[in-house]
A and B are shown apart, each in its own frame.
Chain A
Amino acid sequence: MAAIAHKRIADATKSLAQSLSPGPGQTACQPGASFGIPALDQHLSGGMWSNALHEVRCSLARDFACAAGFALGLAAQFGKQDAKRILWVIDPAASVDSGLPFPDGLSEHGIDPKRMIFVRPITLQDALWSADQAAKCSDLSAVVFQVKGNPKPFDMTATRRLMLRARESGVLVCVLRQSGAEEASAAATRWHVEIMPSGDDADFEHGPGQARHAQTLERNRHGRTGQWTLVWNPESRAFEDGTSNLETTHRVHRIHASAHRPDRPVEMGQVVDLERAS
């Protein structure tokens, strides 16, 4: 009697161990690809995981361009290198006031506009379905899912599904959340992008220089959170540390986001320009 019980327990533990370890069809997350910035790589325990779900969010509609720039940078640097296309799914609510990527601007950003495929569904359900289908497709380099605010159907379950799809197909999936609040999700990392005054322009001192952004790593599954200033280099298609040349012509006081703390101070005027007057 006891022998049978022992055997059963042994079987149960064995099957449990099997279910916990990744099966043959299910691959674990690949070790991260290096950012090339030691401080950042250390926080991310090695670098960005390319076959995972990441989230980039911005608080205001006018921040959309810098968040899009960061998301496209991630897609270019960490997306699948042997695949070509970047698929961009637009939530119908987001396409109302945010505008579209401009081919010349994309090209100057270091991304060939011919690589971009846009999907513009009519409903959010269709957008979720499209993102889900795209994340399954291993022939894509990256998938960017542009979403506005925190819509209810795009919940924990939906993000977890995207994460699983990304892990299986090896595609970098990036949720680009515009004017959205922090929300629990299955994403490996969540970044909050804020604008910063640009660096100096070598050619013309009164003109806007190279773009710099304050990136806050709000959530990190595999390490600590933190805040950095990053500069996208479109020539080498990699992020660089932007703190090295901080001399700007105009410094403004900035409230730093809390890192290593449970919550951040409430930012004021978060939804100033969501509603239009006319």
Chain B
Amino acid sequence: MKWGKSWILNARPDTPPIVVTDMENNAVRVVAHETHAARSGIFNGQSLSDARALVPDLECHSRDRAAERKLLGSLAAWCERYTPLVALDGDDSLLMDVTGCTHLFGGEASFIADIETRLAAQGFTIRTCLADTAGAAWAMARYGTERIIACDQHEDAISPLPLAGLRLDAALVKSLGRVGFKTIGCIAEIPRAPLTARFGTYLLDRLDQASGRQDEIISPLMPVAELASEKRFADPIVHEDDIKRCIGPLAGNIIALLERRDLGVRTCELKLFRVDGEVQSLSVHASNPLRDAERIAALFHERLARLHTDLDAGFGFDIVRLNILQADPFNGGQHDLVERQDAGDGYDALIDRLGARLGRDRVLQFSFTDTHIPERRFALVPVCGRDGKTDPEQIVLPGPARTPTRPLVLLERPEPIDAIAQVPDSPPSRFRWRKVLYEIARSEGPERIACEWWRDGRTSLSRDYFRVEDTQGYRFWLFRYGLYDRETARPDWYMHGLFS
């Protein structure tokens, strides 16, 4: 069974209440319940058998922590509309660093109100608190009633709150309670040395974090963009054309900033915030630093063209944001007055366009490894920009040869063939490959390529490669996998490549 985020909105008074249960202290207990279930006497922490006694036809679901985490993650992504610094905190809360963001929403009060309204509309019950430190906000959101703690008032505000508000584990809170410490204010006033000696440094670290004497670093979920530009819509946009139309101006806003910093875009992403809480993210990559709004927009057009039907607009997007994730020094310099300007048909632009439309892993070039095993010798890797780490210089490739020793085309994997050959070392006299029989007219070999025992282990086999030509003129590269008697009793033959 699957509910949307907003299942709570249409309460179901006629049906039995839904509860979520989990194993706690060796008993199955209720960990969450529907709002109207409280009327029947159900509360969190009640054992399931008690709840069943009250409401016999209770609808139970066991807790799915992975799904909860996923939901919280998607919520965190959505909260990026308020600030780029959003971090997950535990299983059920989000920490947001909103320094310098609240004025964009008309002050702290309307900022909090905006969060609460929007999340309530999505069906969440939330508690918020805005404070100078993350610790104070955490304590107040859970154990207090204030929603905004004024500047520099946080120490006084949290002092009447219970000690659990310092994010301590239950055992520590219990042992503190045993010696009479109940509130945060109690331990804030007494000498620190004896406290550390008895309860460890952790307690005072947490206290200092809450009071702001010690910095607390929150690790944001998403990389923080170097630059961002966004557009908010009073009326959500749905059409692909509308999205396309607003990318150009967004990129245009950023160009001036890039010019001031002498940077060019390498990686940027477009975030589309849907009104119902989903966030779509598209990213494009440029092989050389870009500083042209048209070309950035063109890359996103290709990326959108690839999505096409997969882009689910739902009820529309109300925020479109362009994040610059990676920017490198721009080396474009001055264009020649006479020479044709790079109007987007150069090699780099082509690679970027292909990569944006098809995916970067579809535009490939060779990379080499120093080995003799043919299929390990090369790999196809995505085409890199100028900083790409390719070191093909170390590998010695054979020079041009009128009678080649290596095939022009290598099969993706060696294909088994039925071969008739003299033992032990002769080339096959005839063989069958892909259901066709070939009679060998000429052959050269064997060329032995030994196994790489340091990678494949001691039991791996050597290969004897032969260049053969059949009576019609087809030239093949085939190998016998294993040496007669020494490695295997009955070696197999494989086709590995075709000569031109």
18 A-B interface contacts by CB (under 8 A): A68-B408, A68-B500, A100-B380, A118-B363, A118-B380, A120-B380, A139-B345, A139-B346, A139-B347, A197-B441, A197-B471, A198-B469, A201-B403, A201-B444, A208-B475, A235-B402, A250-B441, A272-B436
- Out of B365, B434, B473, which one reaches A198, CB within 8 Å? B473
Q: Determine the chain B residues whose CB is within 8 A of the CB of A207 once the complex forms.
A: 403, 442-444, 467
- Out of B377, B409, B412, which one reaches A68, CB within 8 Å? B409
Residues of A within 8 A of B (CB): 61-62, 64-66, 68-70, 72, 85, 87, 95, 98-110, 112-114, 116-122, 126, 129-130, 133-134, 136-140, 169, 195-198, 201, 203-204, 206-213, 232-235, 237, 249-250, 252, 272-273, 276-277
Q: Determine the chain A residues whose CB is within 8 A of the CB of B399 once the complex forms.
A: 107-108
Instruction: Give a binary string over B347-376; 1 marks a CB under 8 Å from any A CB, 0 the rest.
Output: 101110110011000111110100000100
User: Does any Cβ of A come within 8 Å of B331's Cβ?
Assistant: no
Given A118-B364, A195-B473, list of 17 further CB < 8 A pairs?
Answer: A65-B407, A65-B409, A99-B497, A100-B380, A101-B408, A106-B408, A117-B365, A126-B358, A133-B353, A139-B347, A195-B472, A206-B442, A207-B443, A207-B444, A211-B404, A232-B500, A234-B401
Does the CB pair A206–B443 fall under 8 Å? yes
Does the CB pair B358–A119 fall under 8 Å? yes
Give min CB distance, B148 to chain A, whole Å.
52
Does the CB pair B467–A208 fall under 8 Å? yes
Q: Determine the chain A residues whose CB is within 8 A of the CB of B218 once the complex forms.
A: none
User: Does any Cβ of A come within 8 Å of B41's Cβ?
Assistant: no
Does the CB pair A136–B345 fall under 8 Å? yes
Does the CB pair B409–A64 fall under 8 Å? yes
CA distance A232 to B347 in the complex (A): 29
Give min CB distance, B447 to chain A, whole Å.
11
User: Does any Cβ of A come within 8 Å of B210's Cβ?
Assistant: no
A277 with B403, Cβ < 8 A, contacts A65-B498, A139-B347, A249-B441 known = no
CA distance A120 to B410 in the complex (A): 16
- Out of A70, A108, A138, A234, which one reaches B345, CB within 8 Å? A138
CA distance A249 to B440 in the complex (A): 13
User: Does any Cβ of A come within 8 Å of B406's Cβ?
Assistant: yes
- Out of B353, B357, B474, which one reaches A62, CB within 8 Å? B474
User: Does any Cβ of A come within 8 Å of B53's Cβ?
Assistant: no
Does the CB pair B498–A64 fall under 8 Å? yes
Contacts of B367-393 to chain A: CB distance below 8 A: 368, 374, 377-378, 380, 383, 392
Q: B497: nearest residue on chain A (CB-CB)?
A: A102
Does the CB pair B473–A196 fall under 8 Å? yes
A134 with B475, Cβ < 8 A, contacts A100-B409, A108-B405, A234-B400 known = no
User: Does any Cβ of A come within 8 Å of B458's Cβ?
Assistant: no
A101 with B409, Cβ < 8 A, contacts A129-B357, A134-B350, A139-B346 known = yes
A99 with B498, Cβ < 8 A, contacts A122-B358, A197-B441 known = yes
- Out of B347, B366, B409, B435, which one reaches A98, CB within 8 Å? B409
CA distance A106 to B383 in the complex (A): 19
Does the CB pair A105–B472 fall under 8 Å? no
Q: B408: nearest residue on chain A (CB-CB)?
A: A105
User: Does any Cβ of A come within 8 Å of B489's Cβ?
Assistant: no
Q: B438: nearest residue on chain A (CB-CB)?
A: A62
Instruction: Give a binary string over B171-185; 1 marks a CB under 8 Å from any A CB, 0 the rest.
Output: 000000000000000
